[in-house]
Amino acid sequence: MICAGIDAGSRTLKIVLVDADRLEPVASGVVDQGIDQDRLALGLLERLLDEQKLRRADIRAVVATGYGRKLVRSADSTTTEITCQARGVRHSVPDVRTIVDIGGQDSKLVRLNADGTVADFVMNDRCAAGTGRFLEMLAAQLGTPFRELETLVARSRTPAVISSMCVVFAESEIVGLLATGVLPEDIVTGVQTAIATRIAAMTGRKMAEPVLFTGGVALVPGMGDALQSVLEKPVLIAPQPQLTCALGAALLAADRCAERPI
């Protein structure tokens, strides 16, 4: 029996298929976001099913989460990202107590109880500082493809100080730094530190360990180190950090099927 989780995020749409009996992933995929959430989800779902030689009838339940979850009409039900992150993380790294999730347009800090349930959370979804959007703006300013920022991070020796906590003002500050000869690689690492500082401000310094880093920004080299440095705590990066939320949605779908067997 197969269950599916769909994470319709702000920048990408992710799907994870799990074997509902073993509670283990069997397939996953990511596509860039677009206008028609349901069409994107169905297209990716069909591709994953074809790759696994499965049929749509093999899927017992589908749970959608993320910004666009209510637009995924093919899902059986929807659940918040917070709940899905907690479930996905609990499955992947069971002893985690704090989740730092940084996506394209928001960042979240989720505190977990010892049993993996959500104790509380804080979300920043009204300002691009502390999100992947900050890094996208930086890549545009530097004329560098987003995925090539990692080559700059590796060359940095003296991170620049980015004092502005607002992306609009930071953009002007970056232009000024470039004009004065500050190296692009040092600006990149400076922006990563600024993002980490914004996350630290959300925590109130109350973070139980272990701390796990999830979301698409966790894939950017250097961000884990920046968080670890600013938070002054060890920070683990989740296995396949971009898929944690979709995994949690798929596992919740499997949980519900187990509660209501055929």
Does 95-238 carry CATH code 3.40.250.10? Answer: no
List pLDDT tens digits, range 237-255: 999 999 999 999 999 999 9
Q: Residue 129: its pLDDT value, please?
A: 67
Rounded distance between C-alpha atoms, residue 36 and residue 39, angstroms = 5
Cβ contact 53:26 at 8 Å: no
pLDDT computed for residue 194 by the predictor: 87
Peptide bond into 234 cis (omega under 30): no
Q: What whole-number distance in Å separates Cα of residue 25 and Cα of residue 17?
A: 6
Q: Is the pTM of this model over 0.75?
A: yes
pLDDT at res. 134: 85
Q: What is the mean pLDDT of the chain?
A: 91
d(CA 74, CA 49): 15
DSSP character string of 150-183: HHHHHH-SSPPP----SHHHHHHHHHHHHHTT--
φ and ψ of 209, to 5 deg: -100, 155
What's the rounded Cα separation, in Å, for the pair 38 and 19? 23
HEC letters along 229-251: HHHCCCEEECCCHHHHHHHHHHH
Query: Which segment of 33-47, 88-102, 160-174, 233-247 scores lowest on mean pLDDT?
Result: 160-174
Q: Look at residue 144 in the predicted model and tell me its pLDDT.
A: 86
Distance CA 210, CA 97 (A): 6
The mean per-residue pLDDT over the stretch 46-58 comes to: 95
pLDDT tens, 87-122? 999 999 999 999 999 998 889 999 999 999 999 999
Tokens of 185: 């690689």
Q: What is the distance between the alpha carbons of residues 37 and 74, in angstroms, rounded to a whole number? A: 10
From CA 196, how far away is CA 229, in angstroms rounded? 9
Torsions phi, psi for 11 (to 5 deg): -115, -30
Question: Which residue reads 């800090």 in tokens?
Answer: 109
Where are the CATH 3.30.420.40 domain residues in the chain? 1-93+242-262, 95-238
What is the third-level CATH fold of 1-93+242-262?
Answer: Nucleotidyltransferase; domain 5 (3.30.420)
Residue type (1 letter), 20: A
Q: Which of 257, 251, 261, 256 is CA-nearest to residue 5?
A: 251
H/E segment holding residue 224: helix 223-231
Q: What angle do CA 12, 18, 20 make, to 5 degrees?
A: 145
Q: 138-151, pLDDT tens digit by residue?
A: 888 888 888 788 78
- How do residues 60-73 score in pLDDT, each as one tens digit? 999 999 999 999 99
Residue 262 has pLDDT above 60, yes or no: no
Using the 8-state DSSP alphabet, how is residue 117 labeled? Answer: -
Residue 184 pLDDT greater than 80, yes or no: yes
